[in-house]
Structure 1
Amino acid sequence: MDTLLSLRVFAEVAEHKNFSAVAERLNISPAMTSKHVKHVEARVGARLLNRNSRNVSLTEAGAQYLQTIRPLLDGLMEAEAQLSTDSLSPRGTLKLSLPVWMSNPDFAAILTTYHQQNPHVTFDVDLSGRKINMVEEGVDLALRVAFKLDEGLIARKLAEVTFQMVAAPAFLDRFGRPQTPDDLNNAPMLAYSHVAADGRVKFGGENGMDVKLDPILKSSNESILHQAAIAGMGFAMLPNWAAQNDVKDGRLEAVLPTVEWPKLHIQAIYADRSYLPAKVRSFLDFLAGPDGVSAVLK
């Protein structure tokens, strides 16, 4: 049996979690697809996939093995493409995981500009905001403001994100307009669970102080926090660029605008590989360039 083909079949099944879909995609029978996976498992001496009539998932050994062979398979595909086209150009599907707040016209324009320059790259974008396993789910690149790195992942800083405290005018009419940060202690907060789940917010720079608000709504979905702030539910800490139009149009007010609120970095998270596929490397460079994320956040 062709071991290289078996490795490709295993990687496809691991990422798509469906034997039948992969069989159709590769134009082989479902039975042969299963034989290829069993061939790989026999070679490594370990079960790589858990499967039943409904679900397919990676075992711990399978996730580790996929992380090892995926860049090798990608490299081989690009080497073949280079020989056939005499140029190493980005191509294939780029699977991205983005924060919910990147579902906006500015980031859509980034994707559009990149695709115009790299027409052989297509996008598969997840905006669920959930915690992901990049290796098991076959995600090429994740953009995060706060992210605890799992083993085997690295982060590249793309741009600085400055935040501001905001609230709806009607809410401030009821609650009162804080004059100092201490006025925010125990105030109702709409808290982003990945950054300030306990309601604690640092101000005044690196050596600043904390205020402790009372989280009445916690979510990993930034959009619901934003909309709840506009509805008058409480205080929210939002990126400047995301809140600025609402502040300008009067739907939100900046609270204590002279206070130095937190600054965080948006990071690109990807697998720690000695070889990055051209589609990932080129998109990373584009995001870090003058037409990338920094242009949106300025």
Structure 2
Amino acid sequence: MDTLVSIKVFCEVVRVGSFVGAARHLGVSSPMASKHLVHLERHVGARLLHRTSRKLSLTEAGQFYYDKCVDALDVLEQAEAALADRQGEPAGVLRVTAPVWFANDRIARLLAQYQKQHPKVVLDLYLTNSKIELAQAGMDLAIRVTHEPEPQLIVRKIGTVQLVLVSSPAYIGAMGMPQSVQDLEKYGAVIPNYRDRNDYLLHGPDGRMKFQLNSLMKLNDTTLSRKLVIAGMGIAMLPAWLVEEDVRQGRLLRLLPDHDSPPLDIFASYISRQYQTAKVRSFIDFFSAAMAP
């Protein structure tokens, strides 16, 4: 068996915590993933993983070997990326973390277009609303929506997005359509639990208005928030891209459409300029152009 492939399988098993998950991600069968680990343990002459029916855990030797393998694979990947840079063609695995609400139709179309333009780049997209350490998580790039970019990262603004106030026809049919910002106090809302506060800002005909939403539920999954509101659970302030098709199809109603929220900046962030390889540059340049007004 190819020992380098076995090393990649071993590292992926440790990263995802299971043979099934690693096999699915790498495009091999679970039995083949197990064979790779057996081959690797025979090759190094040490047991690398404790395996039970419930969980996997690294042995002391496995932890030492895993740390070294991760470093070695990073070096190999950087070498491949550097070679691709010399040839001027983006290539290799591009690991990107982005907000959960990036799981929408518009972003899906853009990702498909990007992959068509750069077929040698394999996107590994991790959606989370939590901020993660890029180096520690092995990420090349983070897409973040914030007013305050992290000073330790190199950032480039690639676009903006607005939050819009929406609800279902059924809920508004029962509660009535709000006529002013002050009316919002009587509605229940689905709000994110990763925000420090539940107050929002809208600009309307009467100027700038601050208001609070009364929480019915808090959660950290923006796409589930959308589904809950469609199902009739109150109102929500959601990214316009996430709900634009729902509004168009009548599944959701835009509330107070003559009021706009301040646009939120979307930044691409990466660790340092040495990590701005051709694949990173290609992704940033593509989305900057695609998100331009």
TM-score normalized with structure 2 length: 0.70
In structure 1, C-alpha distance between the alignment counterparts of 2:73 and 2:152, rounded to whole Å: 13
Q: 1:198 touches 1:215 (CA, 8 Å); kept in 2?
A: no
The residue type paired with residue 180 of structure 2 is T
Cα separation, partners in 2 of 1:16 and 1:142, compared to 1, 3 Å: farther
Cα separation, partners in 2 of 1:126 and 1:252, compared to 1, 3 Å: same
In structure 1, C-alpha distance between the alignment counterparts of 2:140 and 2:92, rounded to whole Å: 11
Q: 1:186 touches 1:213 (CA, 8 Å); kept in 2?
A: no
Q: Which residue of 2 aligns with 1:160?
A: 160
Q: Map of 1:1-298 to 2, 5 A cutoff?
A: 17=14, 29-30=40-41, 54-55=56-57, 75-81=78-84, 87-146=87-146, 152-185=152-185, 187-195=187-195, 198-204=197-203, 208-289=208-289, 292=290, 294=291
Q: 2:106 touches 2:241 (CA, 8 Å); kept in 1?
A: no
Cα separation, partners in 2 of 1:55 and 1:204, compared to 1, 3 Å: farther
Q: 2:181 touches 2:209 (CA, 8 Å); kept in 1?
A: no
In structure 1, C-alpha distance between the alignment counterparts of 2:44 and 2:271, rounded to whole Å: 27
TM-score normalized with structure 1 length: 0.69
Cα separation, partners in 2 of 1:180 and 1:258, compared to 1, 3 Å: same
The residue type paired with residue 184 of structure 1 is L
> Number of matched residues?
266
Deviations 1:134-190 (A, max 9, x none): 222211122222487567423321111122111112212322322211111363111
Q: Which residue of 2 aligns with 1:59?
A: none
Cα separation, partners in 2 of 1:72 and 1:257, compared to 1, 3 Å: same
Q: 2:140 touches 2:270 (CA, 8 Å); kept in 1?
A: yes
In structure 2, C-alpha distance between the alignment counterparts of 1:214 and 1:29, rounded to whole Å: 56
SS at 1:198's partner residue? coil
The residue type paired with residue 197 of structure 2 is D
In structure 2, C-alpha distance between the alignment counterparts of 1:272 and 1:12, rounded to whole Å: 28
Question: What is the identity percentage for the equivalent residue pairs of Structure 1 and Structure 2?
Answer: 31
In structure 2, C-alpha distance between the alignment counterparts of 1:109 and 1:73, rounded to whole Å: 31
In structure 2, C-alpha distance between the alignment counterparts of 1:80 and 1:198, rounded to whole Å: 47
Q: 1:78 touches 1:88 (CA, 8 Å); kept in 2?
A: no
Q: 1:189 touches 1:199 (CA, 8 Å); kept in 2?
A: no
Q: Which residue of 1 aligns with 2:62?
A: none
The residue type paired with residue 267 of structure 1 is F
Give the unaligned 5+ runs of structure 1.
1-9, 36-50, 57-64
Structure 1 residue 117 displacement after superposition: 2.2
Q: 1:161 touches 1:239 (CA, 8 Å); kept in 2?
A: yes
In structure 2, C-alpha distance between the alignment counterparts of 1:248 and 1:109, rounded to whole Å: 17
